[in-house]
Structure 1
Amino acid sequence: MSTLDRYIPGVPCWADTEQPDPAAAAAFYSGLFGWECENAMPSDEDTPYFVARLKDGDVAAISGFYDGAPQQPTWNTYIWVESADETATKLTEAGGRVLQAPFDVMDQGRMAVCADLEGATFMVWEPRAHRGSAVVNEPGSVNFNDLYTRDPESARRFYNAVFGWEILDLGPGGQMFTLPGYSDHLDLLYPGNTAEMVAMGAPAGFENVVASLSLIDADSDIPPHWGITFAVADADEAAARAAELGGAVVAAPADAPWTRVTVLRDPAGVVFTAGQFVPENASVTS
C-alpha cells in the first residue's frame, strides 16, 4: 500500500458539520450513510467532535457550536495547504478575509477560517497528525465539495490566486475546479487512475478535478457558500431514508450527467446533496 498522502496542497481534504445537537446529527447521518461515530474529544471537553468512520477509515465529523463561533448549522470544507499562515496572507492579498486567524488544533493540524470574495466560508488545513478523510468517493462518503456562487468569474480569479485552481467547462455538466498536476499524484496512489477515466469516457481534464462550481439562481436568496455532495449507492433510497430519519427532501432524485442526484436537508436544516454514479447518464443534459 502506498505511503503517500491522499492529498496535496490545494485539494479539499476534510469536511465537518456544526450542529445544535451533535448526538442527534450523528444518529441521523449514521442511519443515512452507515457511519460509526466516536467522540474524539477528551471527556472534560463540553463540545463533542464525533468522527465518522466507514470501513475503519475516517470520513467526516460532527461537532457542536464553539464559544464565539456563529451558531449556524452548516457543512464545512477544509482545503489542504502547506502553511495555514502563508495561505491566510495570500488569501488576504487576493481580496478574501480571514475570519479566524491560524491556530493549532492540538497535535492534529493548524487551520484558519476564511471567506472568499462573496463571503463563502471555508477552512484551510495544514496537516499534522490528522491527514484528512481516508474514505472518499464511496457510498456514504464525500464525493464533491461544491462552491455555490453568483459571480463565477470572481470565484475563478480568487481560487486561482490562492490555490492555483483552473476551470473545466463541461457544458451541460456545469463547471469544475481543477488543480493542474493532481492526476499525477492520484496515479501514484492508484496506478492507472487517469487511464481508467479516459477509457470510461470522462471529459478531458476531469482527472484533475478538485471541486465543483455551481451558479446560484438569480431569483434565489441562497447566499454564496460551500456545500457537500455525498456519494450514495441509490439516490432514491437515500431520499426516502433521509425523510424517514427526520430530514427532508429538498429536490427529488433526478438524472444528471453521469449521476442521479437528490438534494436533502438534515433535521437541523443543513442542506446537502446525495449523488449516485450512473455511467449510463453520461449524455444526460441538466
Structure 2
Amino acid sequence: MSYVTENQPNGTPTWIDLGVPDIDRALEFYGALFGWEFEKGPAEYGSYTMCRHNGKRAAAISQNAEPGEGTWWNMYVAADDCDATAKRVVDAGGTLVIEPMDIMDQGRMAIAKDPTGAQFGLWQGRAHLGCEIVNEPNALVRNDLVTPNPGPAREFYATVFDYTLDANPDMPEFDFTFLRLPAGNEIGGIMGNPEAPSSRWETLFEVADTDETVARARAAGGTATDPEDTVYVRQSQITDPFGTPFTVGTRTTEW
C-alpha cells in the first residue's frame, strides 16, 4: 500500500475535498462507489467528513453552505510555508480567494486561482498531513490541469513551485506537459485543450476495474462515459448526483 506518514514534498498535490448540497446523499454515492468509510464532522464545521480507505484518510466531503455555488473536487498542494507560497502565487499573477489561515491544529491553508482561473488550495500540514493513502485502488492517483490557455499556466506553476516542464513523447497529438518537482518526481500535468470551457484541475482516482466501477457509479445514481483505453490507463469520466465530474482509471502501464 502507498501510505503517507509525513508531509509531502513542497509542490505535491496532497489533499482533495468536495463540497455538496446534500452530504448524506454524497456519502451514500461515494461509499457505494469506492467502499469508503466516513467519519462525520460537526455541523458547525459544515459536517466536514473524513473519507477513509483501509482506515486511512483518502479525501473529505462537506456540506456546501451555498447551494447555488455548485460542486467541485478541490486540490490542495503541499506548501512548506503557506504564507510564503501564497505570496509567490500573487507575485506570479495569481489571486488569493482565501488568505492563509490556520485550521485549528490541523494545518494552515489558502485558496488561490492561477492566471487562467483554475482554483487550487495550499496546505501546510501539521496534525493533518493530507491524503494518507494514494496511488492505490479507490484513492487519489493524480491531478491534471485542463485549460484552453496552457502557456500562462505552465509559466505560473513553474514559477510558484519550481516545477520543471517536460513534453510527453507518448502523446504527440496532444498539448500535454508533465510537471515535475526539482528532484524529478512527476506530480501531474497540464493539458492544453482549446475547446475546454474553462480551466480546471481534474482529479483521477485509481480503481481496480474501470468497467466494474462504471457499473457501480450508474447503479448508485451517477452517470459515466463508457470506459476507453488510453496510452496509460483504461478510464471513464464519472459525474456524481450533484454534477461533479471526476475520472476513474485502471493503469495499464506506469506514467
Corresponding residue number in structure 2 for 1:261: 235
> Displacement, 1:52?
0.6
8 Å contact 1:156–1:166 — kept in the other structure?
no
Corresponding residue number in structure 1 for 2:19: 18
> Displacement, 1:272?
0.2
8 Å contact 2:138–2:207 — kept in the other structure?
yes
> Displacement, 1:46?
5.8
Greater percentage in helix: 1
User: Per-residue displacement from partner, 1:136-170 (whole Å, max 9, x unpaired)?
Assistant: 01110001112111122211110011111122221
RMSD of aligned Cα (Å): 2.0
Corresponding residue number in structure 1 for 2:183: 181
Corresponding residue number in structure 1 for 2:32: 31
Corresponding residue number in structure 2 for 1:270: 244
8 Å contact 1:156–1:165 — kept in the other structure?
no
Structure 1 residue ranges, 4+ long, deviating more than 4 angstroms after superposition = none
Corresponding residue number in structure 1 for 2:113: 115
User: Per-residue displacement from partner, 1:238-262 (whole Å, max 9, x unpaired)?
Assistant: 111111110001x321111121111
Match status 1:58 vs 2:33: no
Match status 1:232 vs 2:207: yes
CA distance in 2, matches of 1:74, 1:13: 16
> Displacement, 1:172?
3.8
Identity %: 36
Equivalence map 1:132-171=2 (5 Å): 132-171=130-169
Corresponding residue number in structure 2 for 1:5: 6
Corresponding residue number in structure 1 for 2:186: 209
Counterpart of 2:17 in 1: which secondary structure?
Answer: strand
Counterpart of 2:80 in 1: which secondary structure?
Answer: coil
Larger radius of gyration: 1
- 1:38–1:3 CA distance, 2 compared to 1 (3 A): closer
> Displacement, 1:53?
0.7
> Displacement, 1:104?
1.0
CA distance in 2, matches of 1:62, 1:91: 26
Corresponding residue number in structure 2 for 1:248: 223
> Displacement, 1:212?
2.3
User: Per-residue displacement from partner, 1:79-136 (whole Å, max 9, x unpaired)?
Assistant: 0101211111111010000011111111101111100001100000111110111110
What number of residue pairs does the alignment pair up?
A: 249
Corresponding residue number in structure 2 for 1:130: 128
Normalization by structure 1: what TM-score? 0.82
Normalization by structure 2: what TM-score? 0.92
8 Å contact 2:97–2:111 — kept in the other structure?
yes
CA distance in 2, matches of 1:106, 1:272: 29
- 1:106–1:99 CA distance, 2 compared to 1 (3 A): same
8 Å contact 2:78–2:123 — kept in the other structure?
yes
2:86 to 85, 88, 100: 88
CA distance in 2, matches of 1:72, 1:140: 24
CA distance in 2, matches of 1:152, 1:233: 32
My pick for the range that moved more, 115-124 or 19-28, is: 19-28
> Displacement, 1:12?
0.7
Counterpart of 1:51 in 2: which secondary structure?
Answer: strand
> Displacement, 1:27?
1.2
CA distance in 2, matches of 1:141, 1:259: 15
> Displacement, 1:171?
2.7
8 Å contact 1:52–1:60 — kept in the other structure?
yes
CA distance in 2, matches of 1:36, 1:4: 20
CA distance in 1, matches of 2:170, 2:21: 38
- 1:15–1:70 CA distance, 2 compared to 1 (3 A): farther
> Displacement, 1:70?
7.5
